[in-house]
Structure 1
Amino acid sequence: MGTLTLDQLSLNDTALITKLNTSNLSYRNKLLAMGITPGCKVTIVRKAPLGDPIQITIRGFQLCLRKAEASGIQVALED
């Protein structure tokens, strides 16, 4: 299977963040400040009807991301 991004996951999927795919340094720093770092486990909790925003659980707290933001976070499905 090819590379997956956070926005491609389905409800209740759990994955590990492998890479932050962004060249925008301020956006990357924003993600890092929210605790979205490579190696962290993330679970999709809820998606809005049109797929935007996406609610996730990471590091024990809930976080909502826009679909465009989630598309820049590369993940690997957990077994």
Structure 2
Amino acid sequence: MSTQLSVSEARIMRFLKGGACEVQDSVRATHVLLAADRGTIAASRAELESMHRKGLLRWEDERLVLAPHGNRCLKQRG
């Protein structure tokens, strides 16, 4: 199954490719911060929920990780 990725989805997935991250509240109610040793990025709550429903992301021990399907989609994107 091929999944078309938006630019922001690909950015989030590239960040998660480096490993799991913690999800923290942001100043903006519509966004969260994805934090890891390698840095922090902001992401839309709605976009993360959509990516989770598509099987691109998953929760693992209260941390967000790239799902196997997400990794395949990212590789296909190039």
TM interval, short-chain normalised: 0.3 to 0.5
- Going by fraction, where is helix more abundant, 1 or 2? 2
User: TM-score, length-normalised on structure 1?
Assistant: 0.46
TM-score by length of 2: 0.47
Q: Which has the higher contact order (CA 8 A, sep 6+)?
A: 1
* Higher share of residues assigned strand: 1
